[in-house]
Amino acid sequence: MNLILAVILRLAVWLLLAPLLPGIINKVKAWVAGRRGPPVLQLYYDLAKLWRKGVVLSTLASPGFIAGPAVAWVALLGAAMLMPLGPGGTALSFRGDVLLLIYLLALARFCTAWAAMETGSAFEGMGAAREVSYAVLAEAAIVTAVLSLSVQTGSVSLVTMLSPSAGAGAVLLAAGLFTVLLAENCRVPFDDPNTHLELTMIHEVMVLDHSGPPLAAILHGASVKLLLFAVLLIQAVLPLGALSAPAAAGALVAGVLAVTVGVGLVESWLARLAFRRVPLLLTTAFLLCLFALLVAWKGGAK
Amino acid sequence: MPGPLLLFAFAALVTGIVVGVRMSRLWLALTVAGTTAGFGAALMVLLGAADWEWRSGFSLGDELVHLRLDGVSALFLALLCVVGGAGAVYAREYWPEKHYPASAPRGRVWWSALVLSMGLVLTVSNGLHFLIVWELFAICAFFLITLDRQRREVRAAGWLYLAASHAGTMALFAFFSLLAARTGSWDLPGPMRERADLSSLFWLVLAGFGVKAGVFPLHIWLPSAHANAPSHVSAIMSGVAIKMGIYGIVRFSGWLPVPAAAGWVVIGLGATSALLGIAFAFAQNDFKRLLAYCSVENIGIILVGLGAALLALTHGDAVWGRLALAGALLHVWSHGAFKALLFFGAGSVLHATGTREMSRLGGLWRTMPWTAGLFALGSLAVSGLPPLNGFVSEWLVYLGLFDAVTSKGPSAWAALPAAIMLAMAGAMAMASFAKASAMIFLGAPRTQAAAHAHECGMGMRAPMLMLAGVCVGIGLAPILFWPAIRRAAGSWCPGWGAEETPAPLVALGSVHVALAVLILAAAAWLWRKAHTNGLRRGMTWDCGYATPYARMQYVSASFAGIVSGWFRWILQPERKIRRPRGHFPEEALRLERVPETVLERIIGPVSAAIMRVSTTVRQLQHGRLQFYILYVVAGLIALGVLVLLGGAP
């Protein structure tokens, strides 16, 4: 009974809090630009509206066009349920769950790319090609980051990997993971969610043809993914396991807010990179994680 | 008890060879019955405790026939029987008498012969007999690949396969002869790990079986053979035949001592095969070639697991080695199932449209919903995505590598890059299969042939459904398959077949079941919600362009453009570009093709040079007797000078 309650509670946290993050980012961007900006809860209003709307389907699209976003949403929520929440621990933990998490993110990516290709639009093909290609480097960076945490803690399950801090390499790891966060969630400088030129988009161009409830699932899934990466980054870097439960919870919330504000500031101050530079930046993220790994290796040998 | 079943399977397949030409129904019944019996025997060995062994009084080539089925060979035999039976059912509709009056009967006979010879490769326990059945297996495969031998490229692919295969067999001849010379007998009695003098023979094993397995620089025969063979043949070639190479490496690395560097070399070859194999796969425009190169990748994954196990063996810490070996062995089954499924799917597309070019297809889901769905399932499995079988086996390999890294021993320096390369290969496999399934099945049909495709019949659909069931089964209930894997690992290295599961397979399985249920529920829910809210069909938006047409879609080469740019140094793509000129350009063209780089840029030039040298030397042989006498005299004088200078021995 307790387990079911814990799962429901955890699910509620992820489902209800995730859409807050894009709102905060937009508020930060508006504040830096001296505008009032949309309300923080804008995404909630959008989701509620989309959920009630009808669907326009391309004449070329198969049922996979609607199944794709559904599967991606389940995969992202599944990944989120594996992620421990500071002092709250996790609903389910086993050796190797971190690999399941990485591959669930890949499943979500496959489904989004599949749904994009359904429409036969060249723009969406372009977006899907970019998404799956840049993922190669992003995945290398994530696995390297996870390896460095494993070396640090001698463990392959998320709860024990994430409770101590990343040690001396924490700064490198934080920089690497933050860059991956920006790439995986299609934020500036990798992608501009607000651009109006389809030729230059990645994620946004893949969902051009979606509408109504499937679009709501995609937008909500994207916000869950953003929260997931922010939680991962904070827990990887801060020694939450060493703090008392309320302090750890406070640190986690403050950390996630700091990351969100950081994303907003990066978006305000940087322009989107030219596409040929994107692999370079991702390689840099990979190298940062690799150096963090080497530091963890040397640090642990003492 | 496996004995009678194996005897029945043998008799059924031999009868199948005899009656296959005339009686296709009886042949099918015999092949299915034979493979089922073989499967039963393999299961008995895998789930039982004792190996099956039979030393007979018959002799062949002065050697007594000695058969044996232990955990390792039973694992491969089970896969052979599943794919062998499924392929026979598939072939009846895919390669029917009506369309191929000459080659269909031939195909049936060679099919039975191929299954039989592979089964014998797995059971014979005598070096000489192994070479005989190995050769038989290579020849059966050659005749199946060249079933459609009117076509020039099919013949070329067949010859290339035969040449490469024999190059490998030469290494195996050397290996078995040296083994027999050092042990004093052709008989393979089983584990001989204590004979340290045999360890250097491992390199011959790796080279000889590596060619058959399609390890990266030795894979040259594989893409063209898999692409040009009929699809049911590609399925058994890719699903099972290349695994015979893996079987050889697993078998003899388990029986013989290995040199200290073996683990390093195998894991290095594996990681290279995985990464470069999938890079080539992603750049292909021909979907069967893409599948073929993807086999190179999967062989790489298996070798990474095996290499880690060898490293663990030489460094004395068995625990993570067990995980990696279990992953490698399970991947043998996983890859066999999903790759056969994908090749069957590819065959169904080829059957319906007559083209292997992805850029000429598109939108096939409308006319071929079953094939599209099953191909999508296979794509998810081959990309290693949860909750299917590919993920389970790759996860085990990853766990082994991660544990090797956290143990911080010297092996960590091999495991670390291997884990990162596997991650990149996994992401690229996902990209390749997102491309393949999207180009073939989604969007608008790019040609008339694609628009008028038709779904395959039940005879082709049923084997695909069966293999899809295997993929889902291993994914959702991996623990059910654990006893078999444990048994095989125990045969490979005694003491590695411990009772407990070293990995939380039950937890993973239950998460997978939950995930599968939730995925189905969410998809149904969203589908219903979209329908109750009101669903309207409209043109693809395409950024406001009013008259989109099929050729505006992204094609295969453009989809892969970014990644093939990163791998340009090895892919060496050939480009043909005609840029649009003037204010009202009338034509523009951009063609991109990735050649068989290793074959055309390395092996080809080297062989041409050897041929040139040989032709020059051949001028010495012209048939004029007086010159030959001159050669002999010159030779004698040279020998005399040599003796005079060097002194008497």
Q: Which of B442, B535, B549, B553 to mutate to test the interface with A (most CBs of A within 10 A)?
A: B442
Find all residues with CB under 8 Å of B509, minimum gap 6, and list them: B476, B477, B478, B479
- Band the pLDDT of B62: cuts 50, 70, 90: confident
Cβ–Cβ under 8 Å, residues B443 and A122 = no
Spatial CA neighbour of B336 closest among B479, B442, B227, B237: B237
Best of A53, A73, A74, A287 to disrupt the B interface by mutation (most B CBs within 10 Å)? A74
Parallel, antiparallel, or unpaired: how do β-strands B63-69 and B52-60 relate? antiparallel
Select the residue of A73, A107, A155 nearest B385 (Cβ to Cβ): A107
Cβ separation of B562 and A213 shorter than 8 Å?
A: no
**Whether B427 contacts chain A with CB within 8 A:** yes
Q: Would the CB atoms of B423 and A106 count as touching at under 8 Å? A: no
Give the residue, B552 or B377, on which the prediction is more confident: B377
For residue range B380-426, list pLDDT tens digits in order. Answer: 999 999 999 999 999 999 999 999 998 888 888 999 999 999 999 99
Do the chains contact at A156 and B402, CB–CB below 8 Å? yes
Residues contacting residue A198 through CB under 8 Å, at least 6 positions apart: A123, A205, A208, B543
Residue B601 is classified by DSSP as I
User: For residue range B264-300, what is the model confidence (pLDDT) as tens digits?
Assistant: 999 999 999 999 999 999 999 999 999 999 999 999 9
Classify residue A225 by burial, with Cβ atoms within 10 Å: 0-12, 13-18, 19+: buried
Residue B647 predicted with pLDDT over 80? no
Tell me whether B529 touches chain A (CB under 8 Å).
Answer: yes
Average pLDDT, stretch B45-56?
A: 89
What token pair was written down for B566? 């990163």
Residue B229: predicted pLDDT: 94
B591-605 per-position pLDDT tens digit? 888 888 888 888 889
Interface test with B, best of A77, A133, A151 (most B CBs within 10 A): A133
Contacts of B420 in chain A (CB under 8 A): 140, 143-144, 147
- The three-state secondary structure class of A2 is helix
Residue of A nearest to B282 (CA): A133
* Cβ contact A120–B444 (<8 Å): yes
User: Residue B404: which of B487, B315, B489, B491 has the closest Cα?
Assistant: B315
Cβ separation of B538 and A60 shorter than 8 Å?
no
Inter-chain CB proximity A60 and B562 less than 8 Å: no
- Report the chain A residue with the minimal C-alpha distance to residue B506: A94
Residues 247-266 of A with CB under 8 A from B: none
Q: How far is B27 from B19, CA to CA, in rounded Å?
A: 6
Query: Is some CB atom of chain B closer than 8 A to the CB atom of A88?
Result: no
- pLDDT for the residue numbered A4: 85
Residue range B214-230, pLDDT digits in tens: 998 899 999 999 999 99
Would you call B420 and A109 a contact, using CB atoms and an 8 Å cutoff? no
* Residues of chain A contacting B391 with CB distance shorter than 8 Å: 100, 103
Residue B316: band (very low, low, confident or very high) from pLDDT cuts 50, 70, 90: confident
Enumerate the residues of chain A whose CB falls inside 8 A of the CB of residue B527.
63, 66-67, 70
Among A176-180, B80-84, B375-379, B576-580, the minimum mean pLDDT is found in B576-580
Q: How confident is the model over B237-251, as pLDDT tens digits?
A: 999 999 999 999 999
Furthest-apart CA atoms within chain A: distance in Å: 64
Best A15, A58, A99 member to test B by mutation, with max B CBs in 10 Å, is A99
Task: Tell me the chain A residues in contact with residue B388 when contact means C-beta distances shorter than 8 Å.
Answer: none
By Cβ distance, the residue of A66, A92, A95 closest to B530 is A66
* CB-based contact A89:A235 (threshold 8 Å): no
Adjacent-strand bridge partners of B575: B592
Average pLDDT over residues B445-471: 92
pLDDT at B496: 83
Q: Specify the pLDDT at position A166.
A: 64
Q: What is the pLDDT of residue B397?
A: 95
pLDDT digits (tens, 9 = 90+) for B264-274: 999 999 999 99
Rounded distance between C-alpha atoms, residue B68 and residue B188, angstroms: 10
Nearest Cα of chain A lies from the Cα of B603 at a distance, in angstroms, of 30
Please, which residues 110-129 of chain B have a Cβ atom closer than 8 Å to chain A? none
Task: Say which of A114, A151, A208 has its CB closest to residue B541.
Answer: A208
Mean per-residue pLDDT of chain A? 90
Q: Write the pLDDT tens digit of every residue in A104-147.
A: 999 999 999 999 999 888 888 989 999 999 999 999 999 999 99
* Phi, psi angle pair for A270, to nearest 5°: -110, 155
User: What sign does the CA torsion over B405, B407, B413, B418 have?
Assistant: negative
Task: Tell me how many domains chain A contains.
Answer: 1
Q: Which of B106, B104, B144 is nearest to B240 (CA)?
A: B144
Which residues partner with B536 through β-bridges? Answer: A56
Which residues of chain A register pLDDT less than 50? 301-302
Mark yes or no for CB contact A120/B553 under 8 Å: yes
Please indicate whether, in this complex, the C-beta atoms of A54 and B538 are within 8 angstroms of each other. Answer: no
Q: Which amino acid is at B240?
A: V
Cross-chain residue pair A92–B426, CB shorter than 8 Å: no
Mean pLDDT confidence for B60-86: 93
Q: Could B558 and A132 be called an inter-chain contact, meaning their C-beta atoms sit closer than 8 Å?
A: no
Nearest residue of chain A to residue B521 (CA atoms): A70
Q: Return residues 39-78 of A near B (CB < 8 Å).
A: 51-60, 62-64, 66-67, 69-71, 73-75, 78
Q: What's the whole-number mean pLDDT along residues B484-496?
A: 89
- The answer to whether A175 contacts chain B (CB < 8 Å) is no
Indicate the SS3 state at residue B591. strand
pLDDT digits (tens, 9 = 90+) for B108-152: 999 999 999 999 999 999 999 999 999 999 999 999 999 988 999
Average pLDDT value for chain B: 92
CA pair distance B444, A143, nearest whole angstrom: 37
Mean pLDDT within B99-114: 93
Say whether the ipTM exceeds 0.85.
yes
Q: How far apart are CA B453 and CA B448, in angstroms?
A: 9
Domain that holds residue A120: 2-300
Question: Can you tell me the distance from the alpha carbon of A23 to that of A43, in angstroms, rounded to the nearest whole number?
Answer: 6
Q: Is the CB of residue B519 less than 8 Å from the CB of residue A74?
A: yes
Window 460-519 of B, Cβ < 8 Å to A? 503-504, 507-508, 511, 515, 518-519
How close does chain A come to B277, measured CA to CA in Å? 15
What pLDDT shows up at residue B57?
Answer: 82
**Among B537, B505, B553, which Cα is nearest to B362's?**
B553
Contacts of B436 (CB under 8 A, 6+ apart): B287, B290, B291, B358, B379
Residue B526 Cα, gap to closest chain A Cα (Å):
7
Q: What would the pLDDT profile of B573-584 be if each residue is shown by its tens digit?
A: 888 888 888 888
Best A3, A60, A289 member to test B by mutation, with max B CBs in 10 Å, is A60
Q: Which residues of A touch B395 (CB under 8 A)?
A: 96, 99-100, 103
A118·B443 Cβ contact <8 A? yes
Q: Return the residue of B nearest to A107 by Cα.
A: B385
